[in-house]
Amino acid sequence: MTKLTLGSHPYLLGFDQLERLVERTAKSDSNGYPPYNIEQTSENGFRITLAVAGFAEDDLSITLEDRQLVIRGRQRDDAADRVFLHRGIAARQFQRSFVLADGVDVAGAKTENGLLHVDLSRTVPDAVVQTIKINNN
């Protein structure tokens, strides 16, 4: 029996990119650090919140690469200048990725009380009915 995938189903034309997005999302690293929330803020608004205590704004970067939102954190380790009696807070780097649908854009980002908030907005296109003319050539 032949395995039927989303991109090869005869009624779903042009969805092969969606199948690649699902595969890419499934392969993404999910080590749990840093913890995050995703909430709906309005009918077409979302917010991703990451716990980034100890990271300065200069330690964080947010990029959008081929509909994939990538949030990276890299702390500068200045341990050479300091003498620790106990070190329980590690200078740990991270990368979190989120795949965004077409029409979802990054509206802004801010840090507040050790949290990084990334706001997203979805633009909903107007419903369009198109009539196709049949040519008899």
> What are the sequence ranges of the domains in the chain?
1-30, 33-122
pLDDT of residue 7: 59
pLDDT digits (tens, 9 = 90+) for 72-131: 999 877 767 888 899 887 778 999 999 898 899 999 999 999 999 999 999 988 778 888
Quick check: 44 pLDDT over 90? yes
pLDDT of residue 91: 73
Whether the CA torsion 57, 60, 65, 70 is positive or negative: it is: negative
Quick check: 1 pLDDT over 60? no
- One of 2.60.40.790, 1.10.260.40, 3.30.470.20, 2.60.40.420 is the CATH number of 33-122, namely 2.60.40.790
| Sheet of strand 60-65, all strands in order from the earlier edge strand to the far edge | 60-65, 68-73, 94-99
